[in-house]
Amino acid sequence: MVKSVILAAGKGTRMKSDKPKVVHQVMGKPMVYYSIEAAHQAGADEVCVIVGYKADEVKSAIAVSVNDVKVDYALQEEQLGTGHAVKCAADFIGRDGDVIILCGDTPLVTGDTLRKALDFHKDSGNGVTVISAMLDDPFGYGRIIRDGDSLAKIVEQKDADEAEQAVKEVNSGMYIFDCAALQDALSQISNDNAQGEYYLPDAIEIIKKMGLPASAVPMDDADQIRGVNTLEQLADAEKIMENR
């Protein structure tokens, strides 16, 4: 069984708009529509969208645009990090099968990319697979640090030393987890950090300590990593989508 959880609770203050970020449109559809469709095309039978800011507006936008996928919702009342957001969907995730974690503001990822990553995840018997991208300019992204073929850790830009900053493979913020391993890891994630938030990447180290394999698999087209945080980035995403 494959499920998907899509993080869509944030306001997106850099969009300079009162609308929730994920309802801003690309080619006439709300951004979050594309994440839902990509997950469905990759084989996710059920999708849960994490809502927060103006939740009803997000639900309405999804109801109007998504016809062929059953969408559930989980409410994240306070924005306490990506780990906390996923925890809000714990009942939906359950302990069977695998779950694809996506962001509602990355409309360019395709079902084909997710399906390839899912196949790799299953064939490798992984507890977690990080979908990565190779970027000429990786500044600002968490770096994928490998130990041979396996994933050693993800290092955030601000924590990376000179050698780590030279790494061009970055974390897309998209993951595939074994559901049971994720549930066990979520119960152990701490918010003992500068932001006081629960970070989903912290689950990777916990899962590795359980003795389960962890890998990163790069996407073929690095444009698919693009998140939309500003109106300029929204326009860029529209152009790329039109060119497709």
Active-site residue set: 14
Cβ contacts of residue 82 below 8 Å, gap of 6+? 7, 173, 197, 198, 199, 200, 201
Helix H, strand E, coil C: the string for 72-106 is EEEECCCCCCHHHHHHCCHHHHCCCCEEEEEECCC
The H or E element spanning position 241 is helix 231-243
At residue 181, φ and ψ (nearest 5 deg) are -65, -40
User: What whole-number distance in Å separates Cα of residue 4 and Cα of residue 196?
Assistant: 26
At residue 106, φ and ψ (nearest 5 deg) are -120, 75
Cβ contacts of residue 177 below 8 Å, gap of 6+? 98, 99, 101, 127, 128, 185, 203, 207
Whole-Å CA distances, 214 to 40, 41, 65, 175: 24, 24, 35, 11
Question: Angle 223-38-172 (CA atoms, 0-180°, nearest 5)?
Answer: 40
Residue 193 CA, distance from chain mean position: 21
